[in-house]
């Protein structure tokens, strides 16, 4: 099942009354009797019921929240482990490159010494390909030689989602990066590489808040080699935005430093959520205020705002305050969106219950 909070459209810290109100609103909207021409209505209605059954039970909800936090922590740990693995692989490639350059220097010294003794039998100088085979094996030689035959070939940059790859695909990608790197070294030895190759990129995630985006704060990313990279949040950045920091990634010998690619993730804690450049919040409304309408005061990141809740507003009602959202790249602003959530009183009201009973049974006083 999908995230029950997303299914009901409530925040993860929503109270039981808010969850019940959201369930009633959603169930009414997608009920199969009201959507006879929609073949998916029954499935959606059942999904909403399952989500409510989970969240209305404090014990089940607690177990789900605990499992969700464990999964989020595991994903974060996997990202850190992937970054560390990338750093270790980069260090191994750097060590191999240093060994190759050392062997090249020795070979050049032997060739120079041999040229000073023309009368003696001179052994055939060791080629770069033979040197690569001696150090890394025949397979590395063959792959590197094949890649080096195309001078315009660049190190492939991995832009796919790491979480969707199989282990074999990841291993193949790493092998391809290593082959491309050694191919670049081989082109340098041959003198056919006009420009330096680029080291692989490093990916990272940064959790941000609405306040961070509005105030355009600086973020700090901790790199694997105990280095910090700082950059400011700018207009146009929002939840899911990918920031590419040129030349802030890995640095390998005789290569240009790779990029640091940071994905911005909006925090799910607090009263606000982000959708594109709109800021969303919820407003709990009593049954009487929802039916009759009223003027409400809502707390926004920009301070208190007055909003008019129209009469007969259900939990599917959204009230937009234009220009109070996040700033986009063109200089405009998104909206501040107030989502109405009807909640009942803490204690039952006999008069309200009698009125509802009369309305349901068709009896009017």
Whole-number pLDDT of residue 155: 41
CATH of domain 275-365: 2.60.260.20
pLDDT at 131 over 70: no
What are the structural domain ranges in the chain? 1-56, 80-198, 202-266, 275-365
Whole-number pLDDT of residue 156: 41
Report the share of the chain in percent with pLDDT over 90: 30
**What are the distances in angstroms from CA 32 to CA 27, 28, 40, 93?**
9, 9, 9, 60
Whole-number pLDDT of residue 261: 92
Task: Establish whether domains 202-266 and 275-365 are of one fold.
Answer: yes
- Three-state SS for 48? helix
Q: What is the average per-residue pLDDT within 105-134?
A: 63
Asked if residues 154 and 197 have their Cβ atoms less than 8 Å apart, the reply is yes
Question: Which run of H or E residues covers position 152?
Answer: none
Whole-number pLDDT of residue 190: 56
Whole-number pLDDT of residue 148: 53
Tens of pLDDT, residue by residue over 132-150, are: 565 555 555 555 555 555 5
Give this prediction's pTM.
Answer: 0.50
Bigger pLDDT: 179 vs 96: 96
Tens of pLDDT, residue by residue over 165-224, are: 455 555 555 555 555 666 666 565 555 545 567 888 888 899 999 999 999 999 999 887
CATH of domain 202-266: 2.60.260.20
Provide the Cα torsion 72, 77, 79, 84; round to 10°: 170
Among 66-75, 244-253, 284-293, the range with the most confident prediction by mean pLDDT is 284-293
Asked if residues 27 and 49 have their Cβ atoms less than 8 Å apart, the reply is yes
Class of domain 1-56 (CATH, top level)? mainly alpha
């Amino acid at each position: 099942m999908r995230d029950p909070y997303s299914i009901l459209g409530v925040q993860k810290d929503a109270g039981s009354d808010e969850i019940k109100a959201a369930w009633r609103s959603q169930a009414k909207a997608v009920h199969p009797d009201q959507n006879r021409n929609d073949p998916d209505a029954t499935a959606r209605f059942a999904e909403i019921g399952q989500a409510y059954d989970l969240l209305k039970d404090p014990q089940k909800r607690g177990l789900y929240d605990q499992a969700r936090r464990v999964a989020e922590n595991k994903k974060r740990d996997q990202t850190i482990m992937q970054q560390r693995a990338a750093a270790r692989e980069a260090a191994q490639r750097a060590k191999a490159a240093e060994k190759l350059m050392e062997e090249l220097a020795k070979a050049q010294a032997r060739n120079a010494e041999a040229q000073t003794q023309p009368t003696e039998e001179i052994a055939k100088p060791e080629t770069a390909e033979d040197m690569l085979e001696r150090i890394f094996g025949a397979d590395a030689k063959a792959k590197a030689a094949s890649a080096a035959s195309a001078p315009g070939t660049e190190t492939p940059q991995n832009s796919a989602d790491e979480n969707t790859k199989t282990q074999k695909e990841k291993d193949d990608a790493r092998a391809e990066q290593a082959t491309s790197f050694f191919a670049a070294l081989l082109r340098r030895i041959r003198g056919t590489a006009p420009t330096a190759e680029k080291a692989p990129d490093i990916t990272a995630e940064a959790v941000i808040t609405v306040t961070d985006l509005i105030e355009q704060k600086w973020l700090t990313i901790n790199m694997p080699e105990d280095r910090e990279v700082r950059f400011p949040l700018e207009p146009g950045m929002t939840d899911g935005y990918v920031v590419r920091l040129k030349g802030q990634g890995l640095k390998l010998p005789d290569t240009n430093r790779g990029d640091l690619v940071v994905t911005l993730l909006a925090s799910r804690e607090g009263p606000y959520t982000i959708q594109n450049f709109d800021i969303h919040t919820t407003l709990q409304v009593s049954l009487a205020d929802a039916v009759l309408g009223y003027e409400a005061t809502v707390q926004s990141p920009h301070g208190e705002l007055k909003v008019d809740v129209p009469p007969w507003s259900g939990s599917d009602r959204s009230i937009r305050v234009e220009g109070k959202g996040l700033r986009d790249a063109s200089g405009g602003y998104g909206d501040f969106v107030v989502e109405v959530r009807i909640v009942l009183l803490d204690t039952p009201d006999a008069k309200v219950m009698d009125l509802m009973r009369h309305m349901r049974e068709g009896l009017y006083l």
